[in-house]
Structure 1
Amino acid sequence: MYDIRTREIQEAIEAADVALDHLERAKRCLSSASGWGLFDTLGGGFISGLIKHSKMSDAENEIDKAKRALEKFSKELRDVDGYSSVHINGFLTFGDLFCDGFLMDVIVQSQIGKAKHECENAINQVTSIRNDLKRML
């Protein structure tokens, strides 16, 4: 029985590691998009707007992967006594805004900042649970 418990904890830790990897990648993409978005807002032009949207697309792809990884983490966590599931409230509701102009640039910057903040919160929550799991071994 001890071996089963240990294995379940290790599987949950591995799932947490995958989720954290995608969350960290998403955070880096969002930071890059934010930098390009600021440049775009200050008059960077067409090219900076394209780069910003490319970085936003990269972030969205990583967020999608992170969501799937978090679902797996939640499933693995249910196998560990004392955990029912992972609840990361309102996790990363990040949408596309492909309009241009100063006002839209400001709105996009706000959305990027919100998504980055939610990503950081998710990283903190998963890291905390992962640390708890490590202590259980």
Structure 2
Amino acid sequence: MNDDFLQKKEDALCVLDRLVPLVFDAEKRLSHAWNWSFIDVLGGGFFVDIFKYLNIGRAKNSMDEADRLLRELSSILGGMEIPVDYRMQLGGFATFADFVF
């Protein structure tokens, strides 16, 4: 086999080894945020919002890193396009309203 092919395969596997745990971490954080949201609906208050958005923020960080790794993987695989954007948009009026109301 070609040494270049083997190097690309090794690089791709290295990226995947870093990518998969990030996706699982984001899923775990979003699950925790969902649990806090359920408590919030029952009248949780300010501290529940803090914990909920803390988990959402950590999930966002994991997904932003996963998005960066997917772009790196695309580059390693010769520009193979990965059409999904995994970045999360946070903030704005909805977050403000959640805390206030």
Q: Which structure 1 residue ranges, 4+ long, deviate > 6 Å from structure 2?
A: none
The residue aligned with 1:70 is: 70
Q: Which amino acid aligns with 1:89?
A: V
- Normalised to the residue count of structure 1, the TM-score between the two structures is 0.61
By how many angstroms is 1:92 displaced?
Answer: 4.2
Secondary structure of 1:87 counterpart: coil
Unaligned runs of 5+ in 1: 79-83, 105-137
The change in CA–CA distance for 1:74 and 1:31 in structure 2 (over 3 A counts) is same
Unaligned runs of 5+ in 2: none
> Which protein, 1 or 2, shows the higher relative CO under an 8 Å CA cutoff with sep ≥ 6?
1
Give, in whole Å, the separation in 1 of the partners of 2:60 and 2:73: 19
Give, in whole Å, the separation in 1 of the partners of 2:35 and 2:81: 31
- Normalised to the residue count of structure 2, the TM-score between the two structures is 0.79
Give, in whole Å, the separation in 1 of the partners of 2:28 and 2:81: 23
- Asked if 1:2 is matched to 2:14, the reply is no
Q: List aligned pairs for 1:111-126, cutoff 5 A.
A: none
The percentage of aligned residue pairs carrying the same residue is: 26
